[in-house]
Amino acid sequence: MSKKAEQFYKSAREQYADYGVDTESALKTLGEIALSIHAWQGDDVVGFEKASGAMSGGCQVTGNYPGRARTADELRADLDKALSLIPGTHRVNLQGHQVDKSIKGIDRNEYGPEHFSRWLAWARNKGVKLDIAPAFYSHPKLDHGLSLSHPDPKIRKFWIGHGQAIRRIAAGFGRELGSAAVCNFWMPDGSKDIPVDRFTPRMRMQESLDACFAERFPEAHLLDAVEGKLFGIGVESYTVGSHEFFMGYAVSRKKLLCVDSGHFHPTEHVGDKLSAVLCNLKEILLHVSRGVRWDSDHVLVLNDELLAIAQETVRYGYLNRIHIGLDYFDASINRIAAWVIGSRNMQKALLSALLEPKAELLKRDAAWDGAGRLALMEEAKTLPLGAVWNYFCEKNSVPEGLAFMDDIRSYESRVLSKRR
C-alpha cells in the first residue's frame, strides 16, 4: 500500500464520516459483490463452433480491432488478464456457443458437460464461478429469425433441446463450483415489419419455454432467468419476447426476470424499474450495458444512468436479490480494455452508492424536507470517491488510476497483435 493512497484515504474517510458514512463498511461490502463478467466481449459474440452458414440473429458487434479471441483457450487467457485488473473476485458468464471444442455430428441441442470441461477446470483453478446462457442465434436453424416461437414443431424441438442442454450444463457448473449458475434465456424472435398475428407466436414461445424448464434442478445449483427486449436488428416492428411477455412469465413461473439497461426505450430509466419489479419477484438478473440512441451495447461509463442503477440496488438492501451481470460488446477498441473499464465503472458506481449518506437522506425524506434532501444529494456528489476507490484497488493488488492501461498495452503488444 503506497503512503500517498493511505493519506488520501484517511482524509476521505474523515470527510465521509462527517456525513455519517462508514467507508470501511462500504469497502467490505463492495469486496463481497461479484460481477458476472460477460465472456462474449472477448470473441465478439462469435463462439467457437465450426458451423457454416450461420446467421447473426440480431447480435451485431461494431469494429474489427485486432486481437479477437479465436479459440476458448485464447478467450480464457484474455479473461485472465482482464480479471487481474478488476479488483475483487468475480464470475464469468458464457454463451452456449463458446464451447471448448466442436464434436463432429453434435449440434447445440446435444451439448453436454464434455463441451465445456476445460471451462470448468479453468474456473475451479481460478476460484471463479460460472454462469451460462443458451445461444438462440447465429445458427442456420434460426429460420426467418425465429427459434422457440417458430411454427415448425421440428425447429422448435431443436431449440428446446438447446435450452434443455444448456440448463443441464449450468446446473453442473453450480454443483461443481458450489455456487448456483444463472442461466439466462433471451431469444431474438420477431418481425422486421408489422405482423398480423402477434398472439400465436407468443403462445408457442411460452409452451416452448415451459418445455425447456420442465426438468427440475436445486436452486443451489441453477437459477433460471428470462430476458425481454424492446426491439432488435431485424425485429424492429415486433419482438415476441417483449418486456411485458417476460414480466408475466417470470412472475407466473417464479423465474428471475432479467432487466437489461439497453433493452428499453431511451427515455426509460432502468434504475426506477428495479424497486417496481422486486415488489413481485424474489430475485432478478441485471444486465448492464450502455445504449447510445438504441440498444447499442457500449462500454459502461460512470454516467447518471449507471449511478442510478447502483443507487437503487444498494439503497434498499437488494444486493442479495439482484445478480449483477455485464452485457456490452465493443470491437472498435481493445477488448480487454473494454472489459476492465466497464467493470471498474460498475464497481465505482456501486461504491458511490455504498458511500451515499443514506441515513441523513432518509431523515429528510421522512421530514418532507425536499430542499434539504436535494442539497445533501448534490453535496455528496463532490465527496472524495476517487480516494476511496484507489485505496480499494491497492488493497486488492490491482493498479489504481490509469495504470491498468500499461498492462493492457503490454499484453496487446505481446499477445493480441500476433493474432490474425
Backbone angle region of 58, left / alpha / beta, with phi > 0 → left and psi within -120 to 50 → alpha? left
Q: How confident is the model over 294-338, as pLDDT tens digits?
A: 889 999 999 999 999 999 999 999 999 999 999 999 999 999 999
The residue type at 211? A
The answer to whether 267 touches 294, Cβ cutoff 8 Å, is no
Grid cell digits, residue 286: 441485471
The CATH number given to 33-356 is 3.20.20.150
- Find the angle CA(140)-CA(104)-CA(205) to the nearest 5 degrees: 35
Averaged pLDDT in 10-residue chunks for the chain of 420 residues: 90 97 98 98 92 53 93 97 98 96 88 96 97 96 96 98 98 98 97 97 98 98 97 92 97 98 92 95 97 92 97 95 97 98 98 97 96 97 97 96 97 95
The answer to whether 39 touches 122, Cβ cutoff 8 Å, is no
Q: What count of other Cβ atoms lies within 10 Å of the Cβ of residue 130?
A: 26
Angle subtended by helix axes 385-395 and 3-17, to nearest 10 = 130
pLDDT at 55: 45
pTM (2 decimals)?
A: 0.96
The answer to whether 31 touches 351, Cβ cutoff 8 Å, is no
Q: How confident is the model over 92-137, as pLDDT tens digits?
A: 999 999 999 778 889 999 999 999 999 999 999 999 999 999 999 9
Sign of torsion, CA 257 260 266 269?
positive
User: In the chain, where are the structural domains located?
Assistant: 33-356
**Cα–Cα distances in angstroms (integers) from residue 299 to residues 268, 306, 381, in the given order:** 19, 11, 22
Catalytically annotated residues: 186, 227, 229, 260, 263, 287, 295, 297, 327
**Which run of H or E residues covers position 190?**
strand 190-191
